[in-house]
Amino acid sequence: MDFTTFLQQMINGFSLGSMYALIAIGYTMVYGVLRLINFAHGDIMMVGAFLVYLAHAAGLSFPAAVLVGVLGAILVGVLTDKVAYKPLREAPKISLLITAIGISFFLENLFNVLFGGVPRAFPAPDYLTQVIHIGKLYLPTTALVIPVVTLLILAGVLWVLYRTKYGMAIRALAFDIPTVKLMGINADGIISLVFALGSALAAVGGIFYAISYPSIDPLMGIIVGLKAFAAAVLGGIGSVTGAVLGGFILGFTEILVVAAFPDLGGYKDAFAFFFLILVLLFRPTGIMGEDLERGRF
Amino acid sequence: MSQPILSVENVTMRFGGVTAIDHLSFAVQKGEIYGLIGPNGAGKTTIFNNITGNYIPTEGRIVFDGKEITGTKPNKVVDLGIARTFQNIRLFKSMSVLENVLIGYHNRMHYTYFEAIFRLPRYWGYEKRIKARAMELLEEFGIADLADTEATALSYGNQRKVEIARAVATDPKLLLLDEPAAGMNPSETEDLSIIIHKIKKDFDLTILLIEHDMKFVNNMCDRLTVLDYGENIFVGTPADAIVDEKVITAYLGEFKHA
Amino acid sequence: MQKLITNILLLILSVYLIYWAHSHLDNYTLSILNNIGIFAILALSYNLINGVTGQFSLEPNGFVAIGAYTAALFLIPSETKMDMFALVDPAPVVMQMHAGFLPALLIAGVTASVIALLLSFPVFRVRGDYLAIVTLGFGFIIRIFAMNKPAYTNGAMGLNDIPGNANFLWIGLIAVITFVTMLHIISSRFGRAMKAVRDDEDAAIAMGVNTFWIKTVAFMTSAFFEGVGGGLLASFLTTISPDQFTFLLTFQLLIIIVLGGLGSMSGTLLATILVMGGMEWLRFLDDDMEIFGYHTGAHPGMRMVVFAILLVIMMLFARKGLFGDKEISDTVRKRIGRRQQTAGGDA
């Protein structure tokens, strides 16, 4: 691998890692406040990408379509919590998990019935798909746009989490729901906020994915969702900065390993799984995580 | 004095920046009922969790029956002979009273998985013998007639008895009781203290109990340690404790209440 | 004693019924029964880890795939293998795999359960619901390997001409064995410990239960029977390909155990029949329908939307399913007991 190729791959890795990071944040925040692996999160990302596609097909400009996609994903995410998860807050954990997998399967099959399983070309505007040459580097605009937008969004999310009272409430909720309720914080409102924020980021991640890939299908959220979850565990489940870190590590690993060992290309989708297993075996709290599961007596 | 059955030596437990227990030491002699009292948040349950292996102490060591057990896995600690109850009763809610107690006998039934699946003689032998023993134990607690009732359908006082019976079933030398009288009415409390004295004698137990209710402690304990903010502020008999100035300051109000 | 005699009589009766069905029913009916039998084996074993032990897992499609491929490779004769592997030559070890029907099923089960043991270490030593996500991921990994290791699996083309030894006699008998095994586990110290882990893991540990091993044993047992079920499926269908072992399979089994009641084995049996029947009956949902002269068009997958909604509704409003975690016989006995009591009270 010469230096130019290496640089090219690094930029690709950065771009892929951005997507994983955006989606992983939603997993980690929901896990933080509800101790729930939200299986439907990957599908929310799919919904976001599909809504952009549909809005664009209906004649909206691309930026307007993106807005529709993000708002739609927020709506679906928050509704999922209100309708399906909220009634089960006091129920055994397994009921909540089964419901989550039910919602995931529902969204996948609903979109499959409505729009068919055949992948559709995603309508990325020219200014995002152009290839620019910098020296020997050939870069699609997205390879620059995605990381920059991601970093801006992350800065915003971290600002909300660490500098606003809502962010403080979210972090307090991650430690103890009953205490937060005692402190007079509207726990349900904060949980909705978590779902809204997570879903919006997932939608953005989904749109980036759709632009780079560049096609969408109803099952696109499954594998990406699994990988993003693995990234969240790698970074330390419950930790937002951890999720970002985990997303980037996974993105870079996938790109670089395949670049160095082309034979492993077919197994690219399996790396995240092995990461997950290794982290659980040797450092279950991940890179940045705290032990959220310590028994409370 | 002979070698203590349990000695907690200089144990410190920190959670992040919070020190729950600060260089705590005390020793429990075989055959006594030892009390651990203190205001809420004094670190009483934390030291239980240190002894049972649920939390590994940040510093210090815990010696049981002459062997250091600091950091031993919780289920291994049970095998060594320490059993516990929980502050908020934690029975197996899908199971009957008898089944709850049978879980306590889990490690005393020495048949294998295959013997269970193929229903070989050892399965029948152990099941029959241990069930009879479990019934005797329930008899001891006066709740044998409730054996087939779902455990969580019982009255609070009886649920507490099931929880203690379940702990005794593991055949412990040392029994840790976490606020056994909490939430009980006076007659249930009276009933409970009689039972605790009885099982202590019948099963040759040493008992370490955490308690809030001073009257109960005065009746029950031979000796006690008073904790305040994770520190040991008094060791001695209950009679001396209630006149100790430090204890009174720490406890002001709570004593008057009792 | 009376209970023992009843049980033995029930066992003899069910074996006789299986034999009778095998020798008297037509092929179409038998193929339905075979399907139900295989799904019953899978659902019963799935219920052990999910329902009895309370560890949410999404493993069946992965382990069924392992069982199916393993058994198929042991059952298919060498010459057939040489002809079948079109992309690359079969790996040497594949050419050496030979076994009779029953040994092949056993090997399939053991293979699945060894993999379950390996997965247990990362997921059961830590708290948290990692089993679900790891097993979900595992299902995809198996597929990726099936596609990328054509020397072992023949890639996307899958394996065919698998000897069809699996008839209803085998499938029915193994379903009965699975059922009895599960009941025997539940009413032993191991089953009680599994339920204890489900009800309150900390309290189970405080009773000296090694919860890591209990969970692992439950998971390995589920995997074993899923592997055997996979082997039966391969032999029953005679062809297998990676596309048969998608998450859809796991989802169907999840519906079954939730409907029957998490932890209830007899409930699972009944639910298998209801869900398999329901799947057939609801087939019309996927077809073109005419409602008030308006054609809906064909919607393959509509049934799955309906089943997904059903699952969520069951969780929200009928979490206990048909029988909760009790067996049908317990429920009946309680009813009769209550009636006798009331009758006694009247007299």
Q: Between vectors from CA C277 to CA C272 and to CA C279, what angle results, nearest 5°?
A: 100
Smallest CA–CA distance from C185 into chain B, residue: B117
Q: What's C76-93 look like in SS3?
A: CCHHHHHHHCCCCCCCHH
CB of B96 within 8 Å of a chain C CB? The answer is no
Question: Is residue C45 a contact partner of residue C108, using CB atoms and an 8 Å limit?
Answer: no
Do the Cβ atoms of C203 and B107 come within 8 Å? Answer: no
Do the Cβ atoms of B117 and C198 come within 8 Å? Answer: no
| Alpha carbons A240 and B185: distance in angstroms, whole number | 48
Give pLDDT, residue C338.
65
Domain C2-288+296-346, CATH class in plain words: mainly alpha
Chain position carrying tokens 């068009």: C297
Do the Cβ atoms of B103 and C192 come within 8 Å? Answer: yes
The DSSP bridge pattern shows strands B33-37 and A131-134 to be unpaired
Do the Cβ atoms of B86 and A295 come within 8 Å? Answer: no
Chains with 3 or more CB pairs under 8 A to chain A: B, C
The DSSP bridge pattern shows strands B33-37 and B223-228 to be parallel
Q: Determine the distance in angstroms separating the CA of C40 from the nearest CA of chain A, rounded to an integer.
A: 20
Do the Cβ atoms of C207 and B102 come within 8 Å? Answer: no
Compare C127 and A277 and report the one with higher pLDDT: A277
| Alpha carbons A136 and A11: distance in angstroms, whole number | 14
CA R_g for chain B: 19
| Alpha carbons B58 and C228: distance in angstroms, whole number | 48
Lowest mean pLDDT among A70-79, B35-44, B179-188, C283-292: C283-292
Long-range contacts made by residues B140-143, C-beta under 8 angstroms, separation at least 24? Answer: B140/B165, B140/B198, B140/B199, B140/B202, B141/B165, B141/B195, B141/B199, B142/B195, B143/B97
Give pLDDT, residue C235.
97
| Alpha carbons C42 and C4: distance in angstroms, whole number | 26
Percent of chain A past pLDDT 70, that is, above it, reads 94
CB of C202 within 8 Å of a chain B CB? The answer is yes
| Alpha carbons A62 and A54: distance in angstroms, whole number | 11
pLDDT at residue B47 is higher than 70: yes
Q: Determine the distance in angstroms separating the CA of B80 from the nearest CA of chain C, rounded to an integer.
A: 10
Give pLDDT, residue C339.
65
Q: What is the mean pLDDT of residues A97-104?
A: 96
CB of C192 within 8 Å of a chain B CB? The answer is yes
| Alpha carbons A200 and A189: distance in angstroms, whole number | 16
Compare C110 and B212 and report the one with higher pLDDT: C110
Beta carbons within 8 Å of A208's beta carbon, 6+ residues apart = A15, A18, A19, A22, A142, A146, A149, A150
pLDDT (tens digit per residue) in A46-57: 999 999 999 999
Q: What is the mean pLDDT of residues A249-268?
A: 90
Q: What is the mean pLDDT of residues C214-230?
A: 98
Give pLDDT, residue A296.
39
Q: Determine the distance in angstroms separating the CA of A297 from the nearest CA of chain B, rounded to an integer.
A: 8
Cβ–Cβ contacts within 10 Å for residue A121, how many? 11
Give pLDDT, residue B3.
85
Compare A179 and B241 and report the one with higher pLDDT: B241
Give pLDDT, residue C347.
36
Q: What is the mean pLDDT of residues C336-345?
A: 60
Give pLDDT, residue A116.
86
Give pLDDT, residue A16.
93
The 3-state DSSP class for residue C269 equals helix
Tokens of C341: 């009591």
Q: Determine the distance in angstroms separating the CA of B3 from the nearest CA of chain A, rounded to an integer.
A: 31
What is the average pLDDT score of chain C? 91
pLDDT (tens digit per residue) in C187-216: 999 999 999 999 999 999 999 999 999 999
ipTM, 2 dp: 0.91
| Alpha carbons B18 and B230: distance in angstroms, whole number | 11
Do the Cβ atoms of C208 and B99 come within 8 Å? Answer: no
Beta bridge partners of B150: B96
Cβ–Cβ contacts within 10 Å for residue C242, how many? 20
Do the Cβ atoms of C122 and A277 come within 8 Å? Answer: yes
Query: pLDDT class for B256, splitting at 50, 70, 90?
Result: very low
pLDDT (tens digit per residue) in B87-114: 899 999 999 999 999 999 999 999 999 9
Beta carbons within 8 Å of C9's beta carbon, 6+ residues apart = none
Query: Nearest-CA neighbor of C232 among C42, C29, C28, C81?
Result: C42
Give pLDDT, residue B170.
96
| Alpha carbons C263 and C327: distance in angstroms, whole number | 8
Q: What is the mean pLDDT of residues B212-221?
A: 81
- DSSP label of A85: I
Compare C220 and B237 and report the one with higher pLDDT: C220
Q: Determine the distance in angstroms separating the CA of B130 from the nearest CA of chain A, rounded to an integer.
A: 30
Q: Name residues 73-102 of chain B within 8 A of A (Cβ).
A: 86-87
pLDDT at residue C155 is higher than 80: yes
Q: What residue ranges do the domains of chain C occupy? A: 2-288+296-346
Question: Is residue B222 a contact partner of residue B200, using CB atoms and an 8 Å limit?
Answer: no
A53, A57, A58, A61 alpha-carbon torsion, rounded to 10°: 80
pLDDT at residue A139 is higher than 60: yes
Choose from B48, B75, B95, B133 for mutation: most chain C CBs within 10 A.
B75
| Alpha carbons C175 and A215: distance in angstroms, whole number | 44
Residues of B in contact with A289 (CB under 8 A): none
Considering only CB atoms, A284 lies closest to which of C50, C126, C148, namely C126
Give pLDDT, residue B2.
72
Residue type, A70: V
Tokens of B193: 């203290």
Beta carbons within 8 Å of C332's beta carbon, 6+ residues apart = none
Lowest mean pLDDT among A159-173, A175-189, B52-66, C108-122: A175-189
Q: Determine the distance in angstroms separating the CA of C223 from the nearest CA of chain A, rounded to an integer.
A: 19
Compare B230 and B199 and report the one with higher pLDDT: B199
| Alpha carbons C117 and C107: distance in angstroms, whole number | 15
Give pLDDT, residue A212.
87
Element (H, E) at A216: strand A215-216
Give pLDDT, residue A128.
83
Do the Cβ atoms of C121 and A281 come within 8 Å? Answer: yes
Compare C138 and B38 and report the one with higher pLDDT: C138
Smallest CA–CA distance from A295 into chain B, residue: B54
Query: pLDDT class for A172, splitting at 50, 70, 90?
Result: confident
Give pLDDT, residue A127.
85
- DSSP label of C54: -
DSSP string, chain B: -PPPSEEEEEEEEEETTEEEEEEEEEEE-TT-EEEEE-STTSSHHHHHHHHTTSS--SEEEEEETTEE-TT--HHHHHHHTEEE--SS----TTSBHHHHHHHHTGGG----HHHHHTT-HHHHHHHHHHHHHHHHHHHHTT-GGGTTSBGGGS-HHHHHHHHHHHHHHT--SEEEEESTTTT--HHHHHHHHHHHHHHHHHTT-EEEEEES-HHHHHHH-SEEEEEETTEEEEEE-HHHHTT-HHHHHHHTTHHHH-
Smallest CA–CA distance from C145 into chain A, residue: A267
The 3-state DSSP class for residue A75 equals helix
Domains with residue ranges and CATH for chain B: 1-81+172-258 (3.40.50.300), 93-170 (no CATH)
Q: What is the mean pLDDT of residues B125-147?
A: 96
Q: What is the mean pLDDT of residues C108-113?
A: 98
Question: Is residue A146 a contact partner of residue A11, using CB atoms and an 8 Å limit?
Answer: no
Give pLDDT, residue A297.
44
Element (H, E) at C153: helix C150-153
Smallest CA–CA distance from B106 into chain C, residue: C189
pLDDT at residue B50 is higher than 90: yes
Smallest CA–CA distance from C205 into chain B, residue: B75
- DSSP label of A263: G
Query: pLDDT class for A1, splitting at 50, 70, 90?
Result: low
pLDDT at residue B216 is higher than 70: yes
pLDDT at residue C129 is higher than 90: no
CB of C199 within 8 Å of a chain B CB? The answer is yes
Q: What is the mean pLDDT of residues B163-173?
A: 96
Chains with 3 or more CB pairs under 8 A to chain C: A, B
| Alpha carbons A77 and A196: distance in angstroms, whole number | 6
Q: What is the mean pLDDT of residues A282-290?
A: 81
| Alpha carbons C63 and C223: distance in angstroms, whole number | 6
Fold of A3-282: ABC transporter involved in vitamin B12 uptake, BtuC (1.10.3470)
pLDDT (tens digit per residue) in A26-79: 999 999 888 899 999 999 999 999 999 999 999 999 999 999 999 999 999 999
Give pLDDT, residue A295.
40
Smallest CA–CA distance from A92 into chain B, residue: B93
Torsions phi, psi for B255 (to 5 deg): -65, -45
